[in-house]
A and B are shown apart, each in its own frame.
Chain A
Amino acid sequence: MNKPAPETIQPLAPEGAIQTLTVVKQTSIDASIEIVWESMLEEMGPAGLSANEKPMPMKLEAWPGGRWFRDLGEREGHLWGHVQVIKPPKLLEICGPLFMSYPGVNHVQYRLTAEGNSTWLKLTHRGFGLIDPDHAKGVNTGWEKVVQSIAKIAERRKARL
């Protein structure tokens, strides 16, 4: 993680109005692209963490149209989105409501680029809808933690090799 993580967030619109949201997080991870891809899937799945960093395992059906969801058992749970594009180990896109219990459209893109022995990970989340101002603020920190978590998982995976 040796490069700064630029980010952009649109200014908040008045509550009840349609708002847009853009968050970009990027970092270099000292691991191969295959390891980072598997680490990303692990973070999006069994190693998922909530905003307060408690375990929040998710399930990702890693195929086009597959669900990304929180499985609470016995057919209970939360749908976060569907796989829009999947091209291992370079590109994953998700579209869906994410955690938004209001009308919203989200697009999340994980793009991985091999750079020598490292991998550049760029995560972009864009959305629009009747976005809760607290969510608009919280996603910035949330995605930062996601990127850090992927890097940590990748370090562990690499050390196990």
Chain B
Amino acid sequence: MSTQMTDQEREVQTFDFNKGLLIAAPIEITWEAILAEIGPECVMPDGTPLPLKLEAWPGGRWYRDLGNGAGHFWGHVQVIKPPKLLEICGPMAMSYPAVNHIQYRLTAEDKGTHLKLNHRAIGLIPAEHRDGMPEGLEFWLGRIRELAEGKARGKK
């Protein structure tokens, strides 16, 4: 059985999301918040928990562990320099041919930490995925801010 693909589905698409925000928390706490949000504290925009595992070393896996050998591989750690830089490359949640590169860059500032997220991808990305990704990434950025600022307030 074969399924017909539309012209759009056959074309290699690109995706580029680039956003920075100031977080009222020290850089070390913001770093930990990122690891929490892309790890055990991860939730979907509808609030459903989506715990992931990150092996925080070069080449370490970022994946959804469903137990008993089941799961979803999202990527490998490409660059890691705590608490300033984390890059991940891999398929993410894309069950089609695609390459993603995600970069979290942190810079300490007087009033907290400037976090810049750049997520770029190429592949046979369906339009509905490409169009929906910014909302999910905005949500995750908001979660990182929430986790970091919450923890920073708790420490005062």
Question: At the interface, yes or no: A86 with Cβ under 8 Å from chain B?
Answer: no
**What are the residues of chain B within 8 A of A129 when measuring CB–CB?**
99, 122
Please, which residue of chain A has its CB at the minimum distance from the CB of B123?
A103
Please, which residue of chain A has its CB at the minimum distance from the CB of B79?
A78
Shortest distance from the beta carbon of B26 to any chain A beta carbon, whole Å: 19
A104 touches B99 (CB 8 A): yes
Residue from A78, A79, A130 within 8 A of B122 (CB atoms): A130
Question: At the interface, yes or no: B14 with Cβ under 8 Å from chain A?
Answer: yes
**What are the residues of chain A within 8 A of B101 when measuring CB–CB?**
97, 100-104
A103 touches B79 (CB 8 A): no
- List B83-115 residues whose CB lies under 8 Å from chain A: 87, 89, 99-101, 103
Shortest distance from the beta carbon of A5 to any chain B beta carbon, whole Å: 30
CA distance A18 to B78 in the complex (A): 20
A101 touches B58 (CB 8 A): no
Question: At the interface, yes or no: B56 with Cβ under 8 Å from chain A?
Answer: yes
**What are the residues of chain A within 8 A of B38 when measuring CB–CB?**
none
Q: What is the total number of residues of chain A having a CB less than 8 Å from a CB of chain B? A: 23
**What are the residues of chain A within 8 A of B59 when measuring CB–CB?**
67, 69, 79, 82
A102 touches B120 (CB 8 A): yes
B80 touches A101 (CB 8 A): no
B121 touches A103 (CB 8 A): yes
Shortest distance from the beta carbon of B107 to any chain A beta carbon, whole Å: 16
> What 9 pairs across the A-B complex have the smallest Cβ distances?
A77-B58, A67-B59, A75-B57, A103-B101, A79-B59, A69-B58, A103-B99, A79-B58, A103-B122
Having A18-B122, A101-B78, A102-B120, one finds 13 other A-B pairs with CB under 8 Å, namely A18-B14, A70-B58, A71-B58, A72-B81, A76-B58, A76-B80, A79-B58, A79-B89, A101-B101, A103-B89, A103-B101, A129-B122, A130-B122
